[in-house]
Amino acid sequence: MSQTLSTRRNETAEWWRSAVVYQVYPRSFADSNGDGVGDVNGIRSKLPYLAALGIDAVWISPWYPSPMKDAGYDVSDYRDIEPIFGTLAEADAMVAEAHALGIKVIIDIVPNHTSDQHVLFQQALAAGPGSPERERFIFKPGRGPLGDEPPTDWQSAFGGTAWSRTTNPDGTPGDWYLRLFTPEQPDVNWEHPDIRAEFEQTLRFWFDRGVDGFRIDVAHGLVKDQSFPDEDGMPFPLPLGTAEEVNHPHWDQPRVHEIYRAWRKVADEYTPTRAFCGEIWVGRSDRLAAYLRPDELHTAFNFDFLMTPWLAAPMKAVIDETINSHAAVGAPPTWVLGNHDLCRPVSRYARPQELVQPLDRFLSHYLPHPADFASGLRRARAAALMMFGLPGGAYVYQGEELGLPEAEAIPFAALQDPLVVQSGGENLGRDGCRVPLPWTSAGETYGFSPEGAEQPWLPQPTAWADLAADTQDGQQGSTLEFYREALRVRGQRAELGDGAMTWITTPDDVLAYTRGEHFQCWVNFGDAPISLPEGEILVASGELTAAGLLPRDTTVWLAV
């Protein structure tokens, strides 16, 4: 029955309005060939696991050829597969096998920047200053009498200036190029028709191979103010109340929307239409919703929800704000608790929630607050059940279904994230959520790699044996079985997914909502257990008290 309804939903043209999308971070998901890095055949081997989990789609972080200066977000060829990960034929087979199991496939496109090893950037460097090849990127002379100061004061998202200086063929210092992330990730020039054509061709390349959609990296960053003004300390996100005509010089520029209107036309050429999900950090629901107008992107990550502490009032406010802003443009909300850039929810929620506001998305797990990981796990499970019941779609980052915490004790020398180096070691980066998954409690790499393989590319914490998928499989009350149950029931209930919800009036520390006439979700954020209305418990994120009360940090779904 569950299979029937979720398959039906997944087969509709608007599957993306309700989908639960599972993020696969290929380096860390499953290693089939023993080189210590996950790969496409590893993903293929786990497709039955994903189907049994009950997800509707996978999103695969970049799998393209890459020098891996930013773990694959530095792409040197958008139309092939990185040899460490496998081959194009294996990727085609993966897509076909996923489809056969009723799973849609979303891949990741990185349109703000390429790798410095991309042929277009190599051509630009070789062709020299003033050449048409350089027009495809953002080259500028430096400031100051010697041109040795960056062209603007723009800052890299990873720290330091956002410009790198070139060397001329005669060895003298040359122009600078913009790179909002690492020096090896030059920003492309979206004013150039070749760039627009190049990326549209890439979309078609993968759509023609059967891929169902794209997650768009840094979707709000592509267009730059062509007068290249200094930032001059302008805050971003722009605070509410900022005049309409004020824009940050390189984030969320209004003309970025033109690009997505053109991409939507490409997606709509296909049957069923292909779908986009934007990674859009604009910090304001009105500016986010603008990307989701009917002729632009289908969905966007809801980072406001992810950043909200585990407290009833802010959670209620962010849910309302999300639903209202998305309804204004007819887009489905989405809900997300983690990804490969952010502290895992178990560890985020383990800290005192009043103290870590506003949550720093990179650093919250390194803040010097005491951590209570048992509470963190209870809250992460309660948050997951709360979000799976909300209108729209949801994301699960690999390992959330195992209740993995952030790996907080990776030795400094083993860290790989460029953010660590670029921030001068001030920021310990994102490796803690990227550690290879534990599949089995036994074995040197907990089943991530075959026995006798190379060491995994990041070390795994020893405590993970208890969290391994095979330890949790079939174990009543385990996080894995809880996720399976929640997604099974979500697939069965026609009132879940896209649609409306209504709040039930509750005490301050409790949130409760209805979906349709017969479904209720109750979440207790407070210390005191609360009584529940009459009804059948469909799923609970934790045990109820002996008296049948809903204890703190617990969510239930009720059929009433």
For the annotated catalytic residues, the residue numbers are 217, 269
Q: Map the footprint of ligand NOJ across residues 255-294, applying CB under 6 A.
A: 279
Q: Map the footprint of ligand NOJ across residues 526-545, applying CB under 6 A.
A: none
Residue 215 C-beta: closest distance to ligand NOJ, Å: 9
Single-letter amino acid code for the residue at 290: A
Residue 157 C-beta: closest distance to ligand NOJ, Å: 7
Q: How far apart are CA 51 and CA 38, in angstroms?
A: 19
Q: How would you write 293-334 as a 3-class SS string?
A: CCCCCCEECCHHHHHCCCCHHHHHHHHHHHHHHHHCCCCCCE
In the bound state with ligand NOJ, the residue whose beta carbon lies nearer, of 256 and 523, is 256
Of residues 217, 252, 400, 401, which one binds ligand NOJ by CB under 6 A? Answer: 217
CA distances from 84 to 35, 182, 197, 461 (A): 8, 21, 28, 24
Regarding beta strands 334-336 and 393-397, do their DSSP bridges make them parallel or antiparallel, or are they unpaired? Answer: parallel
- Phi and psi at 5, nearest 5°, equal -70, -40
What is the three-class DSSP state of 540? strand
In the bound state with ligand NOJ, the residue whose beta carbon lies nearer, of 73 and 206, is 73
Of residues 57, 81, 110, 371, which one binds ligand NOJ by CB under 6 A? Answer: 110
Query: Which among 316, 222, 301 is positioned nearest to 260, based on CA atoms?
Result: 222
In the bound state with ligand NOJ, the residue whose beta carbon lies nearer, of 84 and 280, is 280
Of residues 22, 29, 73, 482, which one binds ligand NOJ by CB under 6 A? Answer: 73
Of residues 203, 218, 383, 486, which one binds ligand NOJ by CB under 6 A? Answer: 218
Q: Map the footprint of ligand NOJ across residues 156-185, applying CB under 6 A.
A: 181
Query: Which among 125, 109, 223 is positioned nearest to 177, based on CA atoms?
Result: 125
The residue ranges of DSSP E strands in 168-222, in sequence order, are 173-178, 213-216
Question: Tokens 């004790």 belong to which residue?
Answer: 409
Nearest residue to ligand NOJ, using CB? 73
Of residues 70, 401, 406, 431, which one binds ligand NOJ by CB under 6 A? Answer: 70
360 scored as a contact of ligand NOJ (CB under 6 A): no
In the bound state with ligand NOJ, the residue whose beta carbon lies nearer, of 219 and 371, is 219
In the bound state with ligand NOJ, the residue whose beta carbon lies nearer, of 203 and 319, is 203
Residue 361 C-beta: closest distance to ligand NOJ, Å: 11
Work out the end-to-end distance of the chain between its first and last CA atoms, rounded to an integer number of angstroms. Answer: 20
Q: How far apart are CA 36 and CA 280, in angstroms?
A: 32
Cis peptide before 237 (omega within 30 of 0): yes
The footprint of ligand NOJ on this chain (CB under 6 A) covers a number of residues equal to: 9
Q: Map the footprint of ligand NOJ across residues 328-347, applying CB under 6 A.
A: 340-341
Residue 24 C-beta: closest distance to ligand NOJ, Å: 13
Residue 423 C-beta: closest distance to ligand NOJ, Å: 13
In the bound state with ligand NOJ, the residue whose beta carbon lies nearer, of 73 and 522, is 73
Residue 293's Cβ-count burial label (10 Å; 0-12, 13-18, 19+) is middle
Residue 502's Cβ-count burial label (10 Å; 0-12, 13-18, 19+) is exposed
CA distances from 176 to 70, 149, 161, 164, 168 (A): 21, 9, 11, 5, 11
In the bound state with ligand NOJ, the residue whose beta carbon lies nearer, of 218 and 222, is 218
The residues that touch ligand NOJ, with contacts defined as CB under 6 A, are 70, 73, 110, 181, 217-218, 279, 340-341
